[in-house]
């Protein structure tokens, strides 16, 4: 017999499922309508998809993590971040994850949120920017490398330290110079040089618990979800090709060797997807680093394996620019190295477990 509390829990669970389903459906429809091979090819040549971004912004997706009182949706973290899984499946060539992270960072510090695409800095493990107080104003200086979409951002949410306190600064375009760079997928990864004078309303202490390590963990969780989505898209594309392509009078998907490759690809995609979900939930649970490290490590490992298997099944056509496969595989091989690669997160996990000791090994694993 169900008690009133049981009904309440069921209603809550149903409400969350419906919300998440609606978010995914909205993102799927929006990305599916706009993210065409032609748009992806134009993005690789440096064209920013302004109309696509306007549609994404109109849907409110970049502010999914921002509290309602700050002009956002105030959605639960794990549900909001499902947007990035869908974006990864479509290889969306926009700074959506970066704008979500920047908006979250600025809103947590109580700063105003600019409209338009945003990004975050620094993203490197050892990068640091100098923030000094000069009377009633602030001055930010230094260089940040490999900043995603720096050239296209209307502002950068910068995390810097002043007298040992993590501070957030909103630096508008014009407060930094840009040296263009890119990753393997030809997404902008720029070097930004800062020499900016900032008003008191553009700088504030970061939210409690937010520092460089937690921002890097958030980035790792986001890339894990994007990779999980890209692998799901890769599996769909490869399975369809195996069923459509015929050899010796029958679909190549009927051959045992191809079935074996698809099974391995599917197994890694499923495991990576589960790990990425755990990482997203850990973001909402106080940015617990252990599950996020597991997510980035597992999705990064699967990224290389799945990209290789997909190209093997597709054969020569998969290596042509005209085929869309490379839009996913190049992103997988790029994202696995951003916000820490498998070696970095694996080392962190090893040190954490070694410090915990043998008696707590099982507890640490199950607690994650």
Q: What's the token pair of residue 266?
A: 């599917």
**Ranges in the chain annotated CATH 1.20.140.10:** 212-367
The domain made up of 116-210 has a fold known as Butyryl-CoA Dehydrogenase, subunit A; domain 2 (2.40.110)
The per-residue pLDDT for range 43-88, each reduced to its tens digit, is: 999 999 999 999 999 999 999 999 888 888 888 888 889 999 999 9
pLDDT in tens, the chain (368 residues): 344 444 343 443 434 444 457 778 889 999 999 999 999 999 999 999 999 999 999 999 999 999 888 888 888 888 889 999 999 999 999 999 999 999 999 999 999 999 999 999 999 877 779 999 998 899 999 999 999 999 999 999 999 999 999 999 999 999 999 999 999 999 999 999 999 999 999 999 999 999 999 999 999 999 999 999 999 999 999 999 999 999 999 999 999 999 999 999 999 999 999 999 999 999 999 899 999 999 999 999 999 999 999 999 999 999 999 999 999 999 999 999 999 999 999 999 999 899 989 898 888 888 77
Burial 102-121 (b: 16+ CB within 10 A, else e): bbbbbbbbebebbebbbbbb
CATH number for the domain whose boundaries are 212-367: 1.20.140.10
CATH 1.20.120 corresponds to the domain 1-94? no
The per-residue pLDDT for range 208-262, each reduced to its tens digit, is: 999 999 999 999 999 999 999 999 999 999 999 999 999 999 999 999 999 999 9
**Ranges in the chain annotated CATH 1.10.540:** 1-94
Q: How many residues does the chain have?
A: 368
- Looking at the chain, list the stretches that DSSP marks H as alpha helix, in order from N- to C-terminal side: 4-34, 37-44, 50-58, 77-80, 82-89, 96-108, 212-244, 256-284, 289-314, 325-335, 342-356, 361-367
DSSP letters along 152-184, please?
Answer: G-SEEEEEEEETTEEEEEEEETTSEEEE--B-T
**Ranges in the chain annotated CATH 2.40.110.10:** 116-210
Across-strand partners of 165? 162
């Amino acid at each position: 017999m169900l008690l009133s509390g049981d009904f309440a829990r069921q209603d809550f669970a149903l409400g969350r499922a419906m919300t998440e389903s609606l978010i995914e459906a909205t993102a799927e429809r929006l990305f599916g309508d706009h993210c065409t091979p032609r748009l992806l090819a134009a993005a690789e040549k440096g064209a920013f998809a302004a109309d696509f971004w306007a549609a994404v912004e109109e849907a409110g997706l970049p502010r999914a993590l921002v509290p309602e009182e700050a002009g956002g949706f105030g959605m639960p973290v794990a549900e909001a971040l499902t947007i990035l899984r869908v974006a990864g499946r479509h290889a969306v060539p926009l700074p959506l994850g970066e704008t979500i992270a920047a908006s979250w960072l600025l809103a947590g510090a109580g700063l105003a949120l600019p409209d338009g695409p945003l990004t975050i800095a620094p993203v490197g493990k050892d990068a640091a920017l100098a923030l000094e107080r000069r009377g009633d104003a602030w001055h930010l200086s230094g260089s940040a490398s490999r900043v995603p979409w720096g050239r296209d951002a209307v502002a950068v949410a910068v995390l810097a330290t002043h007298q040992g306190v993590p501070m957030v600064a909103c630096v508008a375009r014009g407060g930094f110079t840009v040296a263009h760079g890119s990753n393997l997928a030809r997404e902008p990864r720029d070097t930004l040089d800062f020499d900016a004078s900032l008003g008191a309303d553009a700088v504030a202490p970061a939210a409690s618990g937010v520092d460089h390590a937690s921002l890097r963990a958030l980035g790792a969780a986001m890339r894990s979800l994007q990779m999980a989505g890209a692998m799901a898209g890769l599996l769909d594309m490869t399975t369809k090709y195996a069923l459509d392509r015929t050899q010796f009078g029958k679909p190549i998907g009927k051959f045992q060797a191809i079935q074996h490759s698809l099974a391995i690809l599917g197994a890694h995609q499923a495991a990576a997807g589960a790990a990425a979900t755990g990482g997203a939930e850990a973001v909402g649970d106080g940015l617990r680093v252990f599950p996020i490290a597991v997510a980035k490590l597992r999705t990064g490992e699967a990224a290389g394996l799945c990209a290789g298997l997909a190209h093997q099944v597709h054969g020569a056509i998969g290596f042509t620019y005209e085929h869309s496969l490379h839009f996913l595989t190049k992103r997988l091989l790029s994202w696995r190295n951003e916000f820490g690669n498998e070696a970095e997160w694996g080392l962190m996990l090893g040190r954490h477990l070694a410090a915990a000791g043998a008696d707590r090994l099982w507890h640490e694993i199950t607690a994650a």
